[in-house]
């Protein structure tokens, strides 16, 4: 059995729950699993279960929600499940929202949709897609990243604008009522999807 193929085939409709123990970052397959999830834009949560320390934390586990969990101090598994469920729903919402946003504003060229805030791995993923195109946008959910993070990402991808939907439509504020209608319709669709899942 090819473990990489098994992970890749099942990660698309999953939320990866990383149980970060003292030895987690020393395990090759644990690190690979995180990278596969990140490269496929999948939701991830990190459950911090460190007892003592890590000699080196795996750097690609960042940019995701982290919860502290300690079984000895009344840690509850339901907290992990609820956080994972929330991240899965947020990921589905962000995907649908950004897809519909691009359709509504007729944005189809020179754009990459990131369903979480962009990071260095996002730059690596999109660098092949960009191929020196001018005016390329990485569109990600609000809120916008801070100035310091954007500057770091722009050192890697100099010809890219990192924008949220709010930043992108600012010049078109007179269309706000149309956008509000679109958002309401989309929120209704999300509720219907969620009701089918439950």
Residues 38-56 pLDDT 10s: 988 899 999 999 989 999 9
Whether this prediction's pTM lies above 0.85 is answered by: no
- pLDDT confidence band for 180 (50 / 70 / 90): low
Neighbours of 84 (CB within 10 A): 20
- Check if the beta carbon of residue 189 is closer than 8 Å to that of residue 163: no
What's the pLDDT score for residue 116?
Answer: 92
Angular region, 121: left φ>0, alpha ψ -120 to 50, beta rest: alpha
* pLDDT at residue 12, as a whole number: 77
Domain boundary pick from 75, 103, 124: 75
Cite the DSSP H helix spans in 12-47.
28-39
Pair 65, 103 in one domain: no
In the chain, the number of structural domains is 2
103 or 6: whose pLDDT is higher?
103
pLDDT at 118 over 90: yes
Distances (CA, A) of 32 to 17, 76, 89: 13, 27, 24
| pLDDT over 60 (residue 175) | no
Pairing of strands 44-48, 66-68: parallel
Look at residues 75, 102, 121 and tell me which one is the last residue of a structural domain: 75
Same domain flag for 189 and 101: yes
- Does 173 have pLDDT greater than 60? no
Q: Which domain holds residue 62?
A: 3-75
Residue 40 shares a structural domain with residue 108: no
Residues 122 and 152 in one domain: yes
Cβ–Cβ under 8 Å, residues 140 and 125: no
Mean pLDDT of the chain: 84
């Amino acid at each position: 059995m090819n473990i990489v193929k098994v992970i890749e085939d099942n990660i698309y409709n999953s939320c990866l729950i990383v149980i970060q123990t003292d030895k987690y970052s020393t395990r090759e397959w644990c690190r690979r699993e995180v990278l596969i999830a990140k490269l496929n834009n999948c939701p991830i949560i990190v459950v911090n279960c460190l007892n003592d320390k890590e000699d080196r934390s795996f750097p690609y586990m960042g940019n995701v929600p982290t919860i502290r969990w300690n079984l000895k101090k009344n840690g509850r598994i339901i907290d992990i499940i609820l956080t994972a469920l929330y991240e899965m729903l947020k990921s589905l919402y962000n995907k649908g929202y950004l897809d519909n946003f691009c359709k509504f504003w007729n944005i189809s060229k020179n754009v990459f949709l990131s369903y979480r805030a962009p990071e260095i791995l996002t730059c690596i993923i999109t660098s092949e897609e960009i191929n020196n195109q001018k005016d390329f946008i990485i569109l990600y959910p609000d809120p916008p990243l801070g100035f310091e993070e954007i500057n770091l990402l722009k050192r890697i991808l100099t010809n890219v604008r990192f924008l949220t939907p709010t930043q992108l439509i600012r010049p078109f504020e007179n269309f706000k009522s149309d956008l509000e209608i679109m958002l309401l319709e989309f929120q209704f669709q999300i509720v219907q999807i969620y009701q089918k899942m439950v």
